Amino acid sequence: MLYKIISVFALATFEIYAAIPAGFAFGLSPWIIFFASLAGGIVGVFVAAYLGEKIEKLISKFRKPAVKVNNKKPGLADKLWDKYGIVGLGLLGTFTVGAPVSIAVGVGFNVNMHKMATWCCIGVLARCIVFTLVGYYGMKLF
């Protein structure tokens, strides 16, 4: 059983969409699935934030400052960023595409990583609650 819990934890560090169904496939309790995926998701947030900062520092050593030209229309990501900001990126981004991708986008927008990690952790919590409940009640139908 310990290997099953560790597997759910490890899957959740990369993608919660895979961890929660795997936990149900292993026959684990919904509470164990929730806490293992929550812990794994939060570890994934902090690993992605740490690596994101390191990669950003490494790239900034070799990158020349770019001259900005505002001839283009703002893209979809820019419009969403202007509308929802760090909260939207942390919550909605984590809920839809995952925490590592949200943090990568946050690094691209040069966001404060402490705030970004906080909102991503809240997004991971909401995501684990919703998908564990959906999985639990979905399994009750069968």
130: pLDDT confidence band, cut at 50, 70 and 90?
very high
State the CB neighbour count (10 A cutoff) for residue 107: 19
Integer angstrom CA distances of residue 11 from 15, 35, 88, 131, 136: 6, 13, 24, 14, 18
On the question of pLDDT at 119 being above 80, the answer is yes
State the CB neighbour count (10 A cutoff) for residue 22: 19
Question: 16: Cβ–Cβ under 8 A, 6 or more apart, which residues?
Answer: 37, 40, 41, 98, 124, 127, 128, 131
The C-alpha atoms of residue 16 and residue 22 are separated, in whole angstroms, by 10
Percent of the chain with pLDDT over 90: 46
On the question of pLDDT at 36 being above 90, the answer is yes
The C-alpha atoms of residue 82 and residue 53 are separated, in whole angstroms, by 22
Number of alpha carbons in the 13 Å side-chain half-sphere of residue 2? 0
**pLDDT of 50-80, one tens digit each?**
888 888 788 778 877 666 666 677 776 677 7
The pLDDT value recorded for residue 26 is 95
The pLDDT value recorded for residue 77 is 66
On the question of pLDDT at 133 being above 70, the answer is yes
User: 113-141 vs 30-62: helix axis angle to the nearest 10?
Assistant: 150
On the question of pLDDT at 29 being above 80, the answer is yes
* Mean pLDDT calculated for residue range 14-19: 89
Q: Is the pTM for the entire model greater than 0.85?
A: no
User: What does the mean pLDDT of the chain come to?
Assistant: 87
Better-scored residue on pLDDT, 106 or 125: 125
